Amino acid sequence: AQSVTQPDIHITVSEGASLELRCNYSYGATPYLFWYVQSPGQGLQLLLKYFSGDTLVQGIKGFEAEFKRSQSSFNLRKPSVHWSDAAEYFCAVGDSGNTPLVFGKGTRLSVIA
Amino acid sequence: NAGVTQTPKFQVLKTGQSMTLQCAQDMNHNSMYWYRQDPGMGLRLIYYSASEGTTDKGEVPNGYNVSRLNKREFSLRLESAAPSQTSVYFCASTRGTGTGRRGYTFGSGTRLTVV
């Protein structure tokens, strides 16, 4: 069965610093990978996705993620964090079939001045 | 605006009461999903419907029932609410019959408290 691990429950970074959120997945075939962001009291918004091709994918709000098959990882990065990036981030894995998305438990990002 | 609409946004129930959470999408999507979100647990799938007329259990279906009323609407029913069902419930949809390359579009959630 598919599974997703987000090792970091909570991360605090300073505004302007770089950010990397970790995501590891378990899946036999080529996965479809997603990052979602959830602002407080809101629903989930898709940041970016990977299903094939270039392993470095660009998303909205200046985020990018890199798919590394050898490490079963799909880490999310941003070069310079803004206070408005404070939110909860979820990694999810799916496939080309009918299996629903499986989500990680999330990483809460706090941004300090 | 196009998207996924959930009603109500907030609800307080007494233990044993029943209620139905409504979800509707206007994107002509085939698949619809119900997740619950609890602190430290991420999103867990309750039920899903890969196409109109079909429903399947997810990871945590106990205590819930669903109805895919038509292509647009997918409701979640709690027959006898329990405090363990206190959660935030999200409905989502996608065009294909599975994950697809587009990912899911989520509603804004229903915050349910069972006392």
Per-residue model confidence as pLDDT tens digits over A61-107 = 999 999 999 999 999 999 999 999 999 999 999 887 778 999 999 99
When pLDDT is cut at 50, 70 and 90, the band that residue B96 belongs to is confident
Residue A42 has pLDDT above 90, yes or no: no
Which residue type does B67 have?
A: S
Question: Using omega within 30 degrees of 0 as the cis cutoff, is the peptide bond preceding B39 cis?
Answer: no
Q: Mean pLDDT, chain A, as a whole number? A: 93
Contacts of A88 in chain B (CB under 8 A): none
Kindly state whether A53 is in contact with chain B, defined as any CB-CB distance less than 8 angstroms: no
Is B10 or B100 the better-scoring residue by pLDDT? B10
Residue B92 has pLDDT above 90, yes or no: yes
The predicted pLDDT at position A1 comes to: 75
Which residue type does A27 have?
A: Y
CB contact residues (below 8 A), chain B span 60-89, against chain A: none
The predicted pLDDT at position B12 comes to: 97
Query: Can you list the positions of beta strands (E) in A2-94?
Result: 3-5, 10-14, 19-21, 24-26, 32-38, 44-50, 56-58, 64-68, 73-78, 87-94
Residue B44 has pLDDT above 90, yes or no: yes
Which distant-in-sequence residues (6+ apart) come within 8 Å of A60 by Cβ? Answer: A46, A47, A48
The predicted pLDDT at position B34 comes to: 98
Tokens of B76: 């979640």
The predicted pLDDT at position B1 comes to: 63
CA-CA distance, B45 to B60, in Å (whole number)? 6
Residue A29 has pLDDT above 80, yes or no: no
**Overall average pLDDT of the A31-52 stretch:** 92
The predicted pLDDT at position A53 comes to: 84
Contacts of A92 in chain B (CB under 8 A): 103
CA-CA distance, A103 to B51, in Å (whole number)? 21
The residue behind tokens 């019959």 is B97
Tokens of A32: 């479809």
For B38, the closest chain A residue by CA position comes to: A105
The DSSP element (H or E) to which B89 belongs, if any, is: strand B87-94
Kindly state whether B7 is in contact with chain A, defined as any CB-CB distance less than 8 angstroms: no
Residue contact B101–A92, C-beta within 8 A: no
Closest by Cβ to A99, choosing from B44, B90, B98: B98
Contacts of B97 in chain A (CB under 8 A): 98
Residue A60 has pLDDT above 80, yes or no: yes
Residue A2 has pLDDT above 90, yes or no: no
Residue B45 has pLDDT above 80, yes or no: yes
Q: How many CB atoms lie within 10 A of CB A35?
A: 26
Task: Please tell me whether residue B58 adopts helix, strand or coil conformation.
Answer: coil
When pLDDT is cut at 50, 70 and 90, the band that residue A25 belongs to is very high
The predicted pLDDT at position B38 comes to: 94
φ/ψ of A84, rounded to 5, equals -70, -10
Is A51 or B13 the better-scoring residue by pLDDT? B13
The predicted pLDDT at position B103 comes to: 87
Task: Please tell me whether residue A61 adopts helix, strand or coil conformation.
Answer: helix
B57-91: per-residue pLDDT in tens?
Answer: 999 999 999 999 899 999 999 999 999 999 999 99
